[in-house]
Structure 1
Amino acid sequence: MPEDSTTEVTAAGIARLAGVGRAAVSNWRRRHADFPKPVGGTETSPSFALGEIEQWLRDQGKLAEVPLRERVWQQLAGHPSGTVAALVHAGCVLLLRRERPRAWTALGALPDARLAEVLPTALEETLTARFGVPRAVRTPTPSETVPAVPLLRAAVELADELGGPREAFEFLLGRHLDANPRQYTLTPPPLADLMAELAAAAAPEGRPLATVVDPASGTGGLLRAVPHATALFAQDTDPDLAALTALRLALHGDADIRAATADTLRADAFPDLAADAVLCHPPFNERAWGHDELAYDARWEYGFPARTESELAWVQHALARLRTDGAAVLLMPPAVASRRSGRRIRADLLRRGALRAVVALPAGAAPPYGIPLHLWVLVRPGGDQRPPAETLFVDTAGLVPDAGRDKLPWATLRTTVLDAWAGRGGEESVARAVPVIELLDDEVDLAPARYLTAPAAGGTAPELAAVRARLDETLRRTQGLAPSPVPARSGPRPLTTVGELARTGALQLRTGGSGTASDGDDVPVLTEHDVLSGGAPSGTLPGGAASGAGAPAEEPVLVAEGDVVVPVLGGGSVARVVDAATAGAALGRNLQLLRPDPAALDPWFLAGFLRGTANNRQASSFASTATRLDVRRLQLPRLPLADQRRHGAHFKSLAEFEEALRLAARLGEQLVQGLYDGLADGSVEPG
């Protein structure tokens, strides 16, 4: 791979290259006079030449070899034109590599200067053949190509390593999305798959989804979920997203791709389209959607949406772009089902048979994750067809256990929703087909929970009696575990720090939050909340790329029995010893793992002293809004292993007492709320 003198890397990037924290990079800059000087950035956030940093790390013995994927990502992130522009340029070359491999082989053999000169012509031919004119992907100019040549060569090399251009682009796109989580609103891949399957199920039997459109395409996740389309149409207001979507879809399959940049409601790029399906995750609660200038638009067949009903404008746009009997599936905020300002449009959608189903998803299914969003399934009615007499309502919130809303059972959700659509039964607390005439009241409230039979909220009387019995048993056990304090007899003890123990090899330190899952793997994640609450691992690893399959997995940090896990944010004094049931889970964000050598350190002794309030206070630093724990500064006494184990046994007993108290509190809350609910809904009688 050619040397790259133009790519810059930040302190965070250096830390990733060397496998250390940012504090270590700051220390290197202060202590080593030969550390490379900044070449860009700002005084508070400088950037450095990647080549100089790699050479310095090798000279210091801190870097054996930079993985290809990490090097390509650093080149991408440090590109002078910006990460997105570099990602588009890399995608163009990867598409050339996919569509015309022999042409790239010949071009790749040229010197860098000559390659930068002739590459735009080859890209223009490839992009025009794939996307037509006009198109969302602009051909880079020779002047733009010159600084990108090392990156472009590296991207093709990465494709060879990862298994193809699609896999390389998915990896790079996934890293970019992971690095900018607040910049993009993504539809999780399992939800995108469910929406595509619902659209296929709603289409007439035997008709494939050949032509599919997403009028708010984002990064293209919904269209990528359609398996056998022949033509995909995407539109987005952001030109960068439109270009990334076009390249992503073109690298994913052989469908005809048409992507456009414009405001869909104000300037529809495909006004004459009659698609088989529309999939859409529209922007929510948008006031400036074009209410004033679109008052007489022909798309408002079901009524002119109020200024506060932008989502109903998207619903009618989707119906307008369908052929007769074509299906649309839209992700909607729950308020759209019940706002008074939209009741007339909802009523007309029902009367004319356009709205076929409303599916309530659990909270956490898609951003914003704290709200239980809805799926609306619509079909464009034909002129002589009789509207269906019923509308399907599905509520999947009850399928998610209260303990883990960030670990959704997508397989169960998918089966429940598709079975309900197919009419394969199910409990009336989950799915029910409601006569349209019952829905057309003054409110036209389409919230599924209103029409489904609610199960007893607190449980039956025998179930509550069982909770009471468990509570009695737990309280007796708690009383038996209650410790008795014994006055100390010894004086001050010599202390050491976690940092010193790590330097001598008595323990290892690892930081959580990185890693992705391989295809088919279901690795649980021990989250910060799990450690604080004493719960089981409730998180899940993202796929090879945040946006979908195709990218290789990165190895997470897996916890083992006897490890000690400490949260580093928040200012609490918590340390958890990993047991056999938790072993094998991945370490989550904002957690530090300490892996003691059993021949030198007892894990319960270590965890117990790490929980000391004064110990945590002296090892913490304070910012304006948060407290951060420097685990290396935590102290513990120097004791023989036998004395450590004696202390550790007491600390373990305290942990068992603490867990019994937690269980008693949970059971008590469950019993109290269950009795409130039972008395309120009549499932139990006053005693």
Structure 2
Amino acid sequence: ADLGARQTFEFLLGRHLDAHPRQYTLTPADLAGLMADLVGPARTVLDPACGTGALLRAVTPRPGQRLYAQESSPELAALAALRLALHTRAPVHAAAGDTLRADAHPELRADAVLCHPPFNERNWGHDELAYDPRWEYGFPARTESELAWVQHALARVRDGGTAVLLMPPAAASRRSGRRIRADLLRRGALRAVVALPAGAAPPYNIPLHLWVLRRPEQAPAHPEVLLADAGQFAGEGRDGPDWQGVREAVLDAWRAHDRDGRLDERPGLARSVPVVELLDDDVDLAPARRLPPPAAADGAGRLADVHERLGETLRLTAELTPPPVDPARSAAPGRRPLTTVGELARTGALVMRTGGNGGHARLPVLTDHDVLSGTDPSGTLPESDEEAVLTEPGDVVVPVLGGGSVARVIDRATAGAVLGRNLVLLRPDPAALDPWFLAGFLRGTANHRQASSYASTATRLDVRRLQLPRLPRDEQRRYGARFRDLDAFERALRQAGRLGEQLVRGMYDGLTDGTVAPD
């Protein structure tokens, strides 16, 4: 019964978040598990920006455990409390409110803090909180909201307690935060910075960082910081990172560093860096700039793997190559009656929406570049009260600038992203229109030419003027199946191109850094 209740709740929660977009922290389960493993067993755990409770749900249970949470949205705070109550026997103390301005747990000194804070906030309380006692390591600049969350986490853990925060990579190198980073290093509070592979969490095109911090009981005599880069475990396309590889590499490096205070160098992956080496004018903590190149055997092995995957993709491309056109059947049929997207929208056969200029900052954003290149949602939008347009499976998305004849059908992996600027979304009625039929005919070059207007520097598409034939549903499916095959062929070609570029880049790097021999 408990298992059924949990499964039902997870299903309903997913449907609720899809249907009613909120400003919530989207932390994938694999990433949440890694963050929880980095803090280790803990009796009291706090998540000050809990979202739907994914991080606290990942915490390893132990006797006498207590979980504390806070979220600015009252609805999400209630959902997180209910979710955690279904998944753990530990008491859950969840509160609603702005954590930085109105901390619900000011007296708490937890064993661990897990946090996926909002990124790039400007209205985080800079003017009101100038003299707040939490700023032990320096008053954060208005543009450094993430460093305010770092210091809040350190203020809520006991001496020797651990905090793990998901951070944007810019927080490791922005000049406005260098004094706070330097003080975190000098006092031994910052213990590790781990660069995750791209695709670990929204925004998926950016390799986010994990910061591991520990409230110092005393300053270490010869402090060293672990810098690790798990970028080599990035996945291809929509598969996401190799989470098993990420977990094994990161946890092994962190546990060895935490146990011994230092780590023997692991080329291309991790090293312990003396703090004095980092305390220059920039205090740049980006791991990639401090790590040695991978060992020759590792570099050659990765190139061999890329070569093998390229061969497999090229074989798949050959299998997907469209068959030649039969000349006996290539004659065009009689003129078919046409309709336009505008007419279909007026008759209710489809719904037409346009992308906005703002929305919910924590949701992935589908950009016109993503549509043109066939990649996952990679953008961000300024946070605002503007209603976001969320994509759903079967939607057709069309860019309106640039002049390219492109239309993308949204699948389940891409659904839930916010529609970005310069995009139009068409949501066909399944009873009237096949989405692949719609997308295929919208991609016709002549169709785009007659529906476009031309300025001196740009081409703009009037989506309402795009045309497609009036065909019965069965005939639409026949066309749709062929268009879907062409889309698979196109994606395979793109994958082969990416792997080819990766192989060439790896060969250049290997030959120039000595990890690959010229013969």
Same fold (TM over 0.5): yes
Residue 330 of structure 1 pairs with residue 169 of structure 2 = no
- Take 1:655 and 1:235, find their aligned partners in 2: how far apart are those partners? 44
The AA in structure 2 aligned to 1:375 is: L
Alpha-carbon shift at residue 184 of structure 1 (Å): 2.7
Residue 261 of structure 1 pairs with residue 96 of structure 2 = yes
Extract unaligned runs of 5+ from structure 1. Answer: 1-158, 201-207, 498-528, 540-556, 558-564, 577-584, 593-605, 639-647
Distance 1:489 1:454, change over 3 A: closer
Residue 430 of structure 1 pairs with residue 264 of structure 2 = no
Q: What is the total number of aligned residue pairs between the two structures?
A: 423
* Mapped contact 2:25–2:116 kept (Cα < 8 A): no
- Aligned residue among 73, 91, 112 for 1:277: 112
- Take 1:613 and 1:354, find their aligned partners in 2: how far apart are those partners? 59
- 1:358 corresponds in structure 2 to 193
SS at match of 1:434: strand
- Take 2:73 and 2:465, find their aligned partners in 1: how far apart are those partners? 37
- Take 1:252 and 1:245, find their aligned partners in 2: how far apart are those partners? 11
Residue 449 of structure 1 pairs with residue 288 of structure 2 = yes
- Take 1:266 and 1:247, find their aligned partners in 2: how far apart are those partners? 25
- 2:10 corresponds in structure 1 to 170
How big is each residue's C-alpha offset from its partner over 1:378-420, in whole Å with a ceiling of 9 and x where there is no partner? Answer: 111114x63562111111112114x325522212111111011
- Take 1:659 and 1:269, find their aligned partners in 2: how far apart are those partners? 49
- Take 1:439 and 1:285, find their aligned partners in 2: how far apart are those partners? 24
Distance 1:456 1:298, change over 3 A: same
- Take 1:306 and 1:354, find their aligned partners in 2: how far apart are those partners? 19
- Take 2:71 and 2:491, find their aligned partners in 1: how far apart are those partners? 51
Residue 318 of structure 1 pairs with residue 153 of structure 2 = yes
- 1:369 corresponds in structure 2 to 204
Residue 420 of structure 1 pairs with residue 261 of structure 2 = no
Alpha-carbon shift at residue 307 of structure 1 (Å): 1.9
The AA in structure 1 aligned to 2:237 is: G
The AA in structure 1 aligned to 2:188 is: G
- 1:343 corresponds in structure 2 to 178
* Mapped contact 1:354–1:378 kept (Cα < 8 A): yes
- Take 2:129 and 2:395, find their aligned partners in 1: how far apart are those partners? 56
- 2:39 corresponds in structure 1 to 199
- Take 1:533 and 1:301, find their aligned partners in 2: how far apart are those partners? 45
- Take 1:173 and 1:659, find their aligned partners in 2: how far apart are those partners? 32
The AA in structure 1 aligned to 2:179 is: R
Distance 1:670 1:246, change over 3 A: closer
Distance 1:610 1:438, change over 3 A: same
- Take 2:83 and 2:141, find their aligned partners in 1: how far apart are those partners? 36
- Take 1:490 and 1:267, find their aligned partners in 2: how far apart are those partners? 70
- Take 2:372 and 2:240, find their aligned partners in 1: how far apart are those partners? 17
- Take 1:532 and 1:414, find their aligned partners in 2: how far apart are those partners? 33
- 2:48 corresponds in structure 1 to 215
Distance 1:637 1:427, change over 3 A: same
- 1:224 corresponds in structure 2 to 57
- 1:397 corresponds in structure 2 to 231
TM-score, scaled to structure 1: 0.50
* Mapped contact 1:186–1:218 kept (Cα < 8 A): yes
- Take 1:455 and 1:344, find their aligned partners in 2: how far apart are those partners? 31
Residue 242 of structure 1 pairs with residue 77 of structure 2 = yes
SS at match of 1:228: coil
SS at match of 1:163: helix
- Take 1:380 and 1:181, find their aligned partners in 2: how far apart are those partners? 36
Alpha-carbon shift at residue 168 of structure 1 (Å): 2.8
SS at match of 1:362: coil
* Mapped contact 1:291–1:306 kept (Cα < 8 A): yes
How big is each residue's C-alpha offset from its partner over 1:56-91, in whole Å with a ceiling of 9 and x where there is no partner? Answer: xxxxxxxxxxxxxxxxxxxxxxxxxxxxxxxxxxxx
Say which is worse superposed, 251-260 or 338-347, in terms of deviation: 251-260
Alpha-carbon shift at residue 280 of structure 1 (Å): 0.7
* Mapped contact 2:199–2:206 kept (Cα < 8 A): yes
Distance 1:495 1:637, change over 3 A: farther
- Take 2:464 and 2:25, find their aligned partners in 1: how far apart are those partners? 29
- Take 1:684 and 1:174, find their aligned partners in 2: how far apart are those partners? 47
Distance 1:349 1:627, change over 3 A: farther
Which protein shows a greater Rg? 1
- Take 1:345 and 1:655, find their aligned partners in 2: how far apart are those partners? 49
Distance 1:296 1:575, change over 3 A: closer
- Take 1:412 and 1:321, find their aligned partners in 2: how far apart are those partners? 32
Alpha-carbon shift at residue 376 of structure 1 (Å): 0.4
* Mapped contact 1:456–1:681 kept (Cα < 8 A): no
- 2:359 corresponds in structure 1 to none
Matches within 5 A, 1:550-565: none
* Mapped contact 2:199–2:234 kept (Cα < 8 A): no
How big is each residue's C-alpha offset from its partner over 1:178-201, in whole Å with a ceiling of 9 and x where there is no partner? Answer: 33456433111111111111011x
SS at match of 2:191: strand
- Take 1:222 and 1:659, find their aligned partners in 2: how far apart are those partners? 34
Alpha-carbon shift at residue 235 of structure 1 (Å): 1.3
- Take 1:301 and 1:175, find their aligned partners in 2: how far apart are those partners? 42
TM-score, scaled to structure 2: 0.64
- Take 1:418 and 1:411, find their aligned partners in 2: how far apart are those partners? 11
The AA in structure 2 aligned to 1:186 is: L
* Mapped contact 1:216–1:280 kept (Cα < 8 A): yes
Extract unaligned runs of 5+ from structure 2. Answer: 258-263, 338-368, 378-392, 416-424, 428-436, 452-459, 476-481
Matches within 5 A, 1:535-574: none
Alpha-carbon shift at residue 490 of structure 1 (Å): 8.4
* Mapped contact 1:333–1:373 kept (Cα < 8 A): yes
How big is each residue's C-alpha offset from its partner over 1:266-308, in whole Å with a ceiling of 9 and x where there is no partner? Answer: 2222111111000111111222222222222221221222222
Alpha-carbon shift at residue 339 of structure 1 (Å): 1.1
- Take 1:612 and 1:315, find their aligned partners in 2: how far apart are those partners? 48
How big is each residue's C-alpha offset from its partner over 1:446-472, in whole Å with a ceiling of 9 and x where there is no partner? Answer: 011111113499x77x969x97xx99x
Distance 1:483 1:189, change over 3 A: closer
Alpha-carbon shift at residue 242 of structure 1 (Å): 1.7
- Take 1:442 and 1:277, find their aligned partners in 2: how far apart are those partners? 32
* Mapped contact 2:269–2:294 kept (Cα < 8 A): no
* Mapped contact 1:566–1:574 kept (Cα < 8 A): no
- Take 2:274 and 2:113, find their aligned partners in 1: how far apart are those partners? 26
The AA in structure 1 aligned to 2:4 is: G
